[in-house]
Amino acid sequence: MRALIVEDEPKVASFIAKELQSHAFAVDLAADGEAGERMARSNTYDVILLDWMLPRKSGIAVCRDLRRDLPQVPILMLTALDGVEDQVNSLQAGADDYLSKPFDLVVLMARIDALLRRSKGNREEGQKLSCGDLQLDHDARRVTRSGQEMRLTAREYALLRFLLQRKDKVCTRMEILEQVWDTLFDTETNVVDVYINMLRKKVDKPFTEKLIHTVTGMGYVIREPGA
């Protein structure tokens, strides 16, 4: 699970981030509306927490603009204002839910859980990814190739899922690091290559058709056989 927190108060941001991380989320932070919108557009998030009052671009404007292009991503607005009008505005701008500050972390997590359950129901299709005879069922956390079940570690699974979500698009090592690992490693690190190799041993080696390809000098791509 990956979450984006768009919040300009560092203390609040890190308070929420810690809680999400303790619930096994990978967390990205943005401190203003423009940065938040840019990150939301260039990454895939399971949930976005969006503060109402933000520098550069307000939370409500970010929400409205994101909603137009990313109808599926769950957005939870965080507002310091407790007025009914602002809550209505949040929902009209396309937020899935709102929470008035200050809030209890238990309530925040309950709201996020509810949003995730709802969006999972809405995106049942998106939970099943495939490439050739390789299938990933995210609800069941199950990967099969030619009907054969594959045992992947959590990290291998996350890596494969990311490649499948971006099928036919080259993923750079940096993108993979940012999406699959929460920490930004030194760019010299070969951790991505190591994991790609482990994944290949399970996903490609026993089969004739190779799905995971190296794009020299760029990164990796998963492609339909024969493509």
Binding site for Ca ion (CB under 5 A): 8, 51, 53
**With contact defined as beta carbons under 8 Å apart, do 63 and 93 qualify?**
yes
Q: Which is nearer to Ca ion, 50 or 143 (CB)?
A: 50
Of all helices (H) and strands (E), which one includes residue 78?
strand 75-79
Least Cβ distance, residue 220 to Ca ion (angstroms) = 38
Least Cβ distance, residue 55 to Ca ion (angstroms) = 8
Which residue number places its CB atom closest to Ca ion? 53
CB atoms within 10 A of CB 175: 18
Q: Which residues pair with 143 in a beta bridge?
A: 136, 150
Least Cβ distance, residue 49 to Ca ion (angstroms) = 12
Q: Which is nearer to Ca ion, 51 or 156 (CB)?
A: 51
Least Cβ distance, residue 54 to Ca ion (angstroms) = 6
Q: Which is nearer to Ca ion, 49 or 150 (CB)?
A: 49
Distance CA 33, CA 57 (A): 4
Q: Which is nearer to Ca ion, 55 or 126 (CB)?
A: 55
Taking alpha carbons only, the member of 21, 13, 84, 19 closest to residue 50 is 13
